[in-house]
Structure 1
Amino acid sequence: MALPKTFEDRMKKLLGEEYDSFVSSYQDKYKTGLRVNRLKLTGKEFEPISPCPVKPIPWTTNGYYYDGKNQPAKHPYYHAGLYYIQEPSAMLPAALLPIEPGDKVLDVCAAPGGKSTELAAKLGGTGLLVSNDISNSRAKALLKNIELFGVRNPVIISEDPANLVKSFTGYFDKILVDAPCSGEGMFRKDPSIMKNWEQYGVDYYNNLQKNIILYAADMLKPGGSMVYSTCTFSPEENEGSIQYLLNNREGFSVEYVERVEGLGSGHPEWIGSEDEQLKNCIRVWPHKVEGEGHFVVLLKKSPEVGTSAYGGYSYKKVKLSEEAVDFLEQLELDFDPNRFELREERLYYLPEGLPNVKGLRILRLGLYLGDMKKNRFEPSQALANALKETDYTNILNIFSCHGDAIKYLKCETLDLSENYRSCTSREEYDTLVAAKKAGVDAMENNAGIILETRKKNPWFLVCVDGFPLGWAKCNKNGMKNKYLAGWRWM
């Protein structure tokens, strides 16, 4: 691979005798990875059902390497939100942020959602996750990934971080800043980034980073934690940005975190600094680990520094239609009646503890439950993905080994005349599903199993091997496919 000469000269100066090992790593193929969605299953539960061979990534508990020749994104499990395709080193920032249940968390530069989905999984449905991206088009891709992963407590915003401060000063317990950068660490994975690097250089991104990190610092609650990360080697964008924060905001410290073998330390001397705490930063080098270049640092804000200045959200009582009430009662979920919101015909369930977000460009506020239309309620794709198989009454379970799973994802009609067996109780259903998974049931030609416990309800939650994919509606002509057309398998 031909690297820019200016880049090579600078890396020779920084790395010295390590440079030859560093540059030879560019002849290796980059590593591919996936991260398991812990909102749906654990890594240990995923390993035996993985659609391809996997090997654990050492700096995560739910990340895995896989051979790039495989295509796990072409398996129904991907469309059930069981995992996210992510570069292995990019899993480190979210893994380091010490999230606790009930935290209010901000991902400042969140698109396309790789880190936000992991932050949501660490919250486990508690607290609040605000995912922001200044680009409206990128924020739409972020929204899809948030909904695909089944996140129940999201707020998706598309704003300049300067505007966020007005609503969120001192609000967040934890913040992730995966800053826009020159992308030097991704040259091997995506050589086209080199053209962008040559066009914009380091200074352009460093100026952006300096603004963003100060806005983030002001939104962090006293005593809160923040992770700053980039995918570049540039000292100006890395140690330099952290030094800029320390010089311009009181009460911040660079925390030491235990690291696995191969992860390097920060270099204050590369920016002419004598601040020893910068050595607590983490550098990921492609010649030392199986991953691309990254820089990650965990910061702590003193409990004695900063103030909180934000208004609360004005929750309004919503009168639900009879059809909406009837449908929601079939979910094994506890709803706070004071947290519903109706915008036009769309019904949402809002997270607890929202601040006043008036004036911000909001793409999603809470979990989109469905459309409350006259005399009927239509559940949303987002709700389907946010459920577990045991959260609902009517289930149509398709086995991944059968072609009907792909047919469903292509929005095609499912023929239920011969391929499915009906059950009238959860116990019977669970027994048959377990038998099918064990391969001992005499129904090898069957595509799946139907659990129908409530005849008057036409809506079925369609699952693949027990993991929700979307909805289908039963009528006299069969089962109508209600998978979201915009997500159709291509």
Structure 2
Amino acid sequence: MNLPKAFEEKMRALLGEEFDAYAACYDEPRYYGLRVNTSKISVEEFQKICPFSITPIPWIKNGFYYDGEKESPAKHPYYFAGLYYLQEPSAMTPADRLPVEPGDRVLDVCAAPGGKATELGAKLQGSGVLVANDISNSRAKGLLKNLELFGIGNMLVLSEEPGKLTGYFREYFDKILIDAPCSGEGMFRKDPKMMKAWEEHGPEFFSRLQRSIVTQAAEMLRPGGMLLYSTCTFDALENEGTIAYLMEKYPEFEICEIRPYEGFTHGRPDCAPGGQADFRKTVRIFPHHMKGEGHYLALLKKGEAKETEGADNGLHSEPSKAKKPLPDDLEMFLKGIKRTFDPGRFDIRGERVYYMPQDLPALSKVRFLRSGLLLGELKKGRFEPSQALAMNLKKEEYSQTIDLPLSDDRVIKYLKGETLLVDDLVGSKEKGWYLVCVDGYPLGFGKLAGGTMKNKYLPGWRWQS
């Protein structure tokens, strides 16, 4: 592979005698990764049922390598059940190393297509809130699909300039992840086309974006909260330089240790203005040290702000909604779900019914793609549950299910949107809405009448032959 001359010279200066080992990586194949959705299945259970040949990624507890030249995990019913996400191994590291706990308020600033947001949402285990934002509306649509496929319900999916969000979420979040737009030097092997983009928009262009994003995010992090900044580039200006800029503007931030792995390389104090030793706590990932592409990570904690105590942070909660009686058809449907709902968190907008995360600020004039869990739609005299609800449920939470083994050809027929004959499975069961599963993991809803299942699998998600 012919690297841009300016890039090669920069890497020689950065790596010194290691440069030849780094350059040799371009003659090696790229690595393919699969990350288990631990909100649906444990790593141990997934290993028992996994139909592919997989090898653990040693620094990611729920990550595995697979052979992308021989196997196609995206064309398997378990993928449609949201049991895993396909992601480059090094790119799994930022969300893995941000210490998210159930109940946290979490922001993924540049979230599309969802590789990191889906892991953050899984870590929340249904409590707290995940705000996933991407400035590109078209990319945010893919982000929404991936989050719903993963079964994440306690979420907001936005498409806004990060700067606009500061007025709504000042000092609101416990954890923030910034996988910043960057020059992509670490991905040249995976996608050689990025070299041309690098020559058109180099590190200086992206550094300006990064500095704007990190300082805006700093305003949204509560004191004591943690921020993880990452890029897929090697450039010092975009990595240590961006963190140095953040700490100059917000001296209450301190760099924290990142849980180590033997392949990680220390960040470079010599690449940061002032050469502070703490930059050794940041992490550089090089492809000649581990089986993945290039990455940079910095984990920071925000201390108490150097401002007057008691100042209004501008955060105002959404007014409490009156607990109106739910429509009878919705109430009847919810009785079939073995879950306790908070009546104050239902939000009915036109025909659509949402179940909202707790303790949200007032969010007028924000561009949403989704707010909360879309439960379904109120039609004339009936309630139709959504695909998002099906993916959010576990089989044991719903009263009427049809569970197909993986070997049953009706699994693929269902995913293609075809009508199913299921009289051999339902026996004397009543008609109505059924949760269709594969090996116990939900795929979507169907409506049963007379032993025939009318397919309600979302058309935009259907299996393409």
TM-score band w.r.t. shorter chain: over 0.9
Please tell me the residue identity of whatever aligns with 1:478: T
Residue-pair matches, total: 458
What is the aligned partner in structure 1 of residue 260 from structure 2? 259
Once the 2 structures are TM-superposed, how far is the Cα of residue 100 of structure 1 from its aligned partner?
1.8
What is the aligned partner in structure 1 of residue 172 from structure 2? 171
1:206-235: CA deviation from partner (whole Å, max 9, x where unpaired): 000000000001100000000000000000
Looking at structure 2, the residues matched to 42 and 324 of structure 1 have their Cα atoms a distance apart, in angstroms, of: 32
Looking at structure 2, the residues matched to 299 and 75 of structure 1 have their Cα atoms a distance apart, in angstroms, of: 39
Once the 2 structures are TM-superposed, how far is the Cα of residue 86 of structure 1 from its aligned partner?
0.4
Q: Where do 1:403-442 residues align within 5 Å?
A: 403-417=409-423, 420-422=424-426
What is the aligned partner in structure 1 of residue 5 from structure 2? 5
Q: Where do 1:91-490 residues align within 5 Å?
A: 91-303=92-304, 305=306, 308-317=313-322, 318-417=324-423, 420-422=424-426, 452=429, 455=430, 458-476=432-450, 478-490=452-464
What is the aligned partner in structure 2 of residue 84 from structure 1? 85
What is the aligned partner in structure 2 of residue 430 from structure 1? none
Once the 2 structures are TM-superposed, how far is the Cα of residue 478 of structure 1 from its aligned partner?
1.4
Once the 2 structures are TM-superposed, how far is the Cα of residue 272 of structure 1 from its aligned partner?
4.7
Looking at structure 2, the residues matched to 124 and 348 of structure 1 have their Cα atoms a distance apart, in angstroms, of: 19
Looking at structure 1, the residues matched to 83 and 107 of structure 2 have their Cα atoms a distance apart, in angstroms, of: 23
Looking at structure 1, the residues matched to 88 and 127 of structure 2 have their Cα atoms a distance apart, in angstroms, of: 27
Looking at structure 1, the residues matched to 328 and 153 of structure 2 have their Cα atoms a distance apart, in angstroms, of: 23
Once the 2 structures are TM-superposed, how far is the Cα of residue 65 of structure 1 from its aligned partner?
0.6
Looking at structure 2, the residues matched to 258 and 156 of structure 1 have their Cα atoms a distance apart, in angstroms, of: 29
What is the aligned partner in structure 2 of residue 73 from structure 1? 74
Identity, % of aligned positions: 52
Once the 2 structures are TM-superposed, how far is the Cα of residue 477 of structure 1 from its aligned partner?
6.9
Aligned partner of residue 474 in structure 1, secondary structure: strand
Q: Is the 8 A contact 1:222 1:305 kept in 2?
A: no
Please tell me the residue identity of whatever aligns with 1:73: A
Looking at structure 2, the residues matched to 49 and 375 of structure 1 have their Cα atoms a distance apart, in angstroms, of: 42
Q: Is the 8 A contact 1:223 1:304 kept in 2?
A: no
What is the aligned partner in structure 1 of residue 43 from structure 2? 43
What is the aligned partner in structure 2 of residue 63 from structure 1? 63
Please tell me the residue identity of whatever aligns with 1:410: K
Aligned partner of residue 33 in structure 1, secondary structure: strand
Relative to structure 2, which stretch is displaced further, 467-476 or 266-275? 266-275
Q: Is the 8 A contact 1:14 1:270 kept in 2?
A: no
Looking at structure 2, the residues matched to 220 and 73 of structure 1 have their Cα atoms a distance apart, in angstroms, of: 36
Q: Is the 8 A contact 1:51 1:75 kept in 2?
A: no
Aligned partner of residue 175 in structure 1, secondary structure: strand
1:433-479: CA deviation from partner (whole Å, max 9, x where unpaired): xxxxxxxxxxxxxxxxxxx4xx2x51000000000000110124711
Aligned partner of residue 421 in structure 1, secondary structure: helix
What is the aligned partner in structure 2 of residue 19 from structure 1? 19
CA gap of 1:225–1:473, structure 2 versus 1, over 3 A, is same
TM-score (norm 2): 0.96
Relative to structure 2, which stretch is displaced further, 229-238 or 467-476? 467-476
Aligned partner of residue 150 in structure 1, secondary structure: coil
Aligned partner of residue 421 in structure 2, secondary structure: coil
1:258-304: CA deviation from partner (whole Å, max 9, x where unpaired): 31111101012124532111111100000000000000111000145
Stretches of structure 1 lacking an aligned partner (at least 5 in a row): 425-451
**Segments of 4+ moved more than 4 angstroms:** 304-307
1:314-365: CA deviation from partner (whole Å, max 9, x where unpaired): 2423432111100001101110001100111000000011111111111111
Looking at structure 2, the residues matched to 63 and 154 of structure 1 have their Cα atoms a distance apart, in angstroms, of: 23
Q: Is the 8 A contact 1:170 1:309 kept in 2?
A: no
Looking at structure 1, the residues matched to 263 and 451 of structure 2 have their Cα atoms a distance apart, in angstroms, of: 60
Please tell me the residue identity of whatever aligns with 1:45: E
Q: Over aligned residues, Cα RMSD in angstroms?
A: 1.3
Relative to structure 2, which stretch is displaced further, 473-482 or 57-66? 473-482
Relative to structure 2, which stretch is displaced further, 159-168 or 318-327? 318-327
Q: Is the 8 A contact 2:37 2:82 kept in 1?
A: yes
Looking at structure 2, the residues matched to 223 and 313 of structure 1 have their Cα atoms a distance apart, in angstroms, of: 24
Aligned partner of residue 420 in structure 2, secondary structure: coil
Looking at structure 2, the residues matched to 357 and 148 of structure 1 have their Cα atoms a distance apart, in angstroms, of: 25
